[in-house]
Amino acid sequence: MKKFLVITMLVLAAAAFTLTPTISEATCEGYGYIIRVSTLPGSSLTYIYFRTSSLSNVYYYATSTDSKIIGAAHNAVTSRVRVLIKGNASSCPASGSIGTATYLALSP
């Protein structure tokens, strides 16, 4: 019984870290951890890579030119806090791009 309860809690926790589409705003949002922030030389476009859990093999990314979002992403990488990130993709992919980052919150 105790093992069943632990497994159930793990499944529920994993479900909480999935990407969810927000139909009314036509965005895709994800909860997770930012694993990398990279900018190509000579480009103003920054890529923000994140995972829904530290154990996940699947990652997502969003792009941004907004200095506030990029700064918050850098803070999230160094402090390893959970984030909420929203992108403007019309639907949430199984992995890959969620579009341009429109919102980023640390420790939501």
- For residue 78, name the pLDDT band (cuts at 50, 70, 90): very high
By the 10 Å C-beta count (0-12 exposed, 13-18 middle, 19+ buried), 88 is classed as: middle
Structure tokens belonging to residue 11: 């499944």
pLDDT reported for residue 79: 92
Tell me: the pLDDT tens digits for 2-14?
554 445 444 444 4
- Which pTM does this prediction carry? 0.74
User: In Å, how far are 21, 25, 102 from 68, measured between CA atoms?
Assistant: 24, 21, 11
Q: What is the DSSP letter of 99?
A: E
Tell me: the pLDDT tens digits for 15-41?
444 454 444 455 899 999 999 999 988
Q: Which residue has the higher pLDDT, 17 or 52?
A: 52
CATH assignment at residue 35:
2.40.50
Give the contacts of 61 (CB within 8 A, at least 6 positions apart): 47, 48, 49, 50, 96, 97, 98
Give the phi and the psi of residue 102 in degrees, each rounded to 5.
-110, -15
pLDDT reported for residue 90: 86
pLDDT reported for residue 17: 44
Which residues constitute the domain of residue 70?
Answer: 2-106
- Asked if residues 50 and 59 have their Cβ atoms less than 8 Å apart, the reply is yes
Q: Provide the number of structural domains found in the chain.
A: 1
Structure tokens belonging to residue 35: 């694993």
pLDDT reported for residue 21: 47
Mean pLDDT, residues 86-106: 93
